[in-house]
Amino acid sequence: MELIISLLIAGFFGTGVYCLFQRSFIKLIAGLILIGQGANLLVFSVGGLMSLKPAFVGKEAPPMVADPLPQALVLTAIVISFGLIIFTISLLLKAQRELKSDDLNQLNTTDTL
Amino acid sequence: MNLLYLPIILPFVTAVACLEFTRWSKATPVIGTIGAVAQLIGAIYLLDEVLVKELIVGHTGGWAAPVGISFVADKLAVAMVVITAIISVVINLYGWAQLDSALIKKHYFALVHFLLMGVNGAFLTGDLFNLYVWFEVMLIASFVLMTIGGTKAQLEGGVKYLVINLVASVLFLCSVGLIYGKVGTLNMADISYHLRDSVDAHLVNSSGILLLIAFGIKAGLFPFFFWLPASYHTLTPTTLALFAGLLTKVGVYALLRTYTLIFESQFELIQPILIWIAGLTMAVGVMGAASHYNIKKILSFHIISQIGYIMMGIAIATPLAIAGAVFYTLHHIIVKTNLFLIDGMIAKHYGTSDLKKLGGLYKWSPIFALLFFIPAFSLGGIPPLSGFWAKLSLIQAGVEANHYFLVATAGVVGIFTLFSMTKIWAEAFWKKPDPETPKFKLPSLREMTPALILASLTLLIGLNGDALFEFSKSTSNQLLSPEAYVKAVLNK
Amino acid sequence: MTLISSSTRVIAPLLILLSLVILYRGHNLPGGGFIGGLTAAAAMMLITLNGVPSKFEKHWNNLSLVLIGSGLVTLFCSFLPSLMTGAAFMEAMWLPTVYLPILGKVKLGTPLIFDIGIYLAVIGFSIKCANVFHANSSSETDH
């Protein structure tokens, strides 16, 4: 299980970084989302992977419970990335309308040295 | 006890009040300023209490550390909170005098106060994940402030700023996760406590490097600084002054906290890297500044080289060096904000910050020239202004610790800093202007007040540097003996 | 379009009801302000997609601000009890549990107020975003 999750995290980061290096706005957004998910999965899995063990229990605790903290961290991170990604999309939409192009290479006028 | 949360609650309340008064947007600058003044008063009360008690710890929700999120005000945190409050007052006044009503209508002041809430939260928190949350609060507010004007250049700069900062956040989050996986706690004091006795503590350094990169991106360290000169010069003057003064310094604060508290036991391993980064950051920043002919760009590159100086203090890490870094940070926030405020007034009048198109400001308004002179040559390190004492203490610390290479770099960079400040002075103020250039009119007193406040603070620090330096020294002593911090937070 | 509009009429109120349930049970069970808020926001999205009724159109944009504003005020109100009584900041405080005929055990306290604040702010934020995207896409077709 750990191996699968690790490979999955690697896959998220790999494809995410690959997308970030592309020139289109859409791929930029996809890349940001993918590396964000990779990070979330990483944080989620550090608490130790336990199948079918809930973090929340009722009155009587079963012998093994999952660590609730990483789950809380991931939830917070998801909430934050929800806001950030929406803002990114709206910013890129605006930028795309202003530039009339979705090529990241067009964004080179502010760093002329 | 609840005084500790005031620097976070007050900006929040102010921001909400500004949002509620959207319909009467003319009232928001007034609310913002009142909120900022309240924030300053609260911060000074907190400072007063910390000076007596050394450390104040608050456990949010009544859950004791390391289970709950603790907030800690030590001398460094409270100094940063006070300086943030000063900048907050100044920026609110300046925005009130200078901003377009269109921007004010777009919730400008509410966003500024949300940003300040994030900044203060980052300074006061004692929990690594909570630090991440405050960074994000700060980032979201800063993204919106950055692109609020909606011009093409701002959108472009905004995209760069946003993407690099999102990547930094992801790295930060990964590092937090990995640290939790390895140490089993996220309370900074608790991490420090666990690492101190552990034989395997060096295994955490992979996460430490991720943190270094994440904070390095935020602080604008070499080689992660490219976003800063590519985006800052597109901003509205008020926003620019706020960002230039505070945002990179939050990254610096986080680094200072990381290497004096969390990874205190691992510092020797990381020190060579920090020394190289400090030297290169200084050198690259000042070279960029020397090669530019636009006030905004010169000053943006100067942020980078000044961050290099502060990093030099952090890297050397003797008591004197840390004291120098703290002193430098406090001085730098004031001076940098002030320079951008003054540039904002020039840019508002002429519509440009290009040195080739400016000239004759000294002839037209000697008072304004004097106002520029104080922060500019304080940054350049002319005695007896504040920058001189800051640089002197860092160089002295470097000599004492035998880091001659770093000292030589700092000296050369200092000369170049002075050179590029002289360039602005010579071109914009002394040069004979083009006959077509319109006459410069002294801005109204309302617009100048913020710059005057900061200039008098610079003078005050310069002429009375001992008091602040004593404070920096005691801060540094506190930072370098984290046992008291750990003990106060964990109660053991 | 008719499919969406007729289904919206049924689904949107149900979603809002569901979101309230999720909001309420959130303290000790999966759920809470954010998830409830997102569920309600989904209902709002459906309404936006369907075209806001013309008599609300003028207020739709203001609605998001009102929701965000009131959500933040509610958040602040949830801090007040702990600030007033001198307990630790954000310490949870509960009213005595009461038993009502249909609802059963009812437990009210500051965490619930906090959740309500989040709930309102999330709905407001989502509507705001939907409005921004809507304005963007409609002005694109205008060109």
CA angle B196, B201, B207 (to 5 degrees): 120
User: Which residues are paired to B354 by β-bridges?
Assistant: B294
The total number of structural domains that make up chain C: 1
Nearest Cβ partner for B61 among C68, C76, C91: C91
Lookup: tokens for B442: 């002294």
- Angle between the N-to-C axes of helices B75-98 and B28-53, in degrees from 0 to 180, rounded to the nearest 10: 160
The SS3 assignment for C99 reads: strand
- How distant, in Å, are the alpha carbons of A76, B242, B249, B347, B488 from that of B295? 41, 17, 21, 9, 46
Inspect the interface and report whether the beta carbons of C129 and A97 lie closer than 8 Å.
no
Inspect the interface and report whether the beta carbons of C136 and A93 lie closer than 8 Å.
yes
Q: Is B433 left (phi over 0), alpha (psi -120 to 50) or beta?
A: beta
Q: How confident is the model at residue C141 (pLDDT cuts 50, 70, 90)?
A: very low
Identify the sign of the CA torsion A24, A29, A35, A38. negative
Nearest Cβ partner for A86 among C28, C30, C129: C129
Nearest CA in chain B to A99: B152
Quote the pLDDT of residue C142. Answer: 39
The SS3 assignment for A103 reads: strand
> How distant is the alpha carbon of residue B64 from its chain centre?
31
Choose, out of A57, A86, A97, A102, the residue to mutate when testing the contact with C (most C CBs < 10 Å): A86
Q: How confident is the model at residue B230 (pLDDT cuts 50, 70, 90)?
A: confident
pLDDT tens column, B121-138 = 999 998 999 999 999 999
Nearest CA in chain A to C118: A79
Q: Kindly report whether the peptide bond that precedes residue B384 is cis, defined as omega within 30 degrees of 0.
A: yes
Average pLDDT of every residue of chain B: 87
User: Which residues are paired to C94 by β-bridges?
Assistant: C109
Question: Considering only A12-21, B48-57, C90-99, which range has the smallest mean pLDDT?
Answer: C90-99
Lookup: tokens for B78: 């409270």
Inspect the interface and report whether the beta carbons of C34 and A56 lie closer than 8 Å.
no
Nearest CA in chain B to A43: B177
Inspect the interface and report whether the beta carbons of A42 and B177 lie closer than 8 Å.
yes
Tell me the pairing of strands B56-59 and C104-106: unpaired
Nearest Cβ partner for C72 among B5, B16, B60: B16
Domain of residue C84, residue span: 3-142
Inspect the interface and report whether the beta carbons of A90 and C29 lie closer than 8 Å.
no
Contacts of C79 in chain B (CB under 8 A): 9
Inspect the interface and report whether the beta carbons of A97 and C140 lie closer than 8 Å.
yes
pLDDT of chain A, 113 residues: tens digit per residue: 788 999 999 999 999 999 998 888 889 999 999 999 999 999 988 877 776 666 665 666 666 677 778 888 888 898 888 888 888 888 888 888 887 777 777 777 766 54
Q: What domains are defined for chain A?
A: 3-50+66-100 (1.10.287)
Nearest Cβ partner for C30 among A56, A90, A93: A56
Nearest CA in chain A to B148: A91
Quote the pLDDT of residue B117. Answer: 93
Nearest CA in chain B to C81: B61
The SS3 assignment for C107 reads: coil
- Tell me the shortest Cα–Cα distance from A18 to chain B, in angstroms: 13
Identify the sign of the CA torsion B256, B257, B263, B264. positive
The owner of tokens 């907190």 is: B46
Closest CA to B247 of B121, B170, B139, B153: B139
* Count of A-C CB contacts under 8 Å: 18
Instruction: Give the residue numbers in B contacting A (CB under 8 Å), as ranges.
Output: 129, 133, 136, 139-140, 143-144, 147, 150, 152-153, 155-160, 162-163, 166-167, 169-170, 173-174, 176-178, 180-181, 186, 226, 229-231, 233-234, 288, 291
CA angle C95, C96, C98 (to 5 degrees): 115
Nearest CA in chain A to B146: A91
> What whole-number percentage of chain B has pLDDT above 90?
27
Inspect the interface and report whether the beta carbons of B170 and A107 lie closer than 8 Å.
no
pLDDT tens column, B156-197 = 888 888 999 999 999 999 999 998 888 888 888 888 888 888
Inspect the interface and report whether the beta carbons of A56 and C140 lie closer than 8 Å.
no
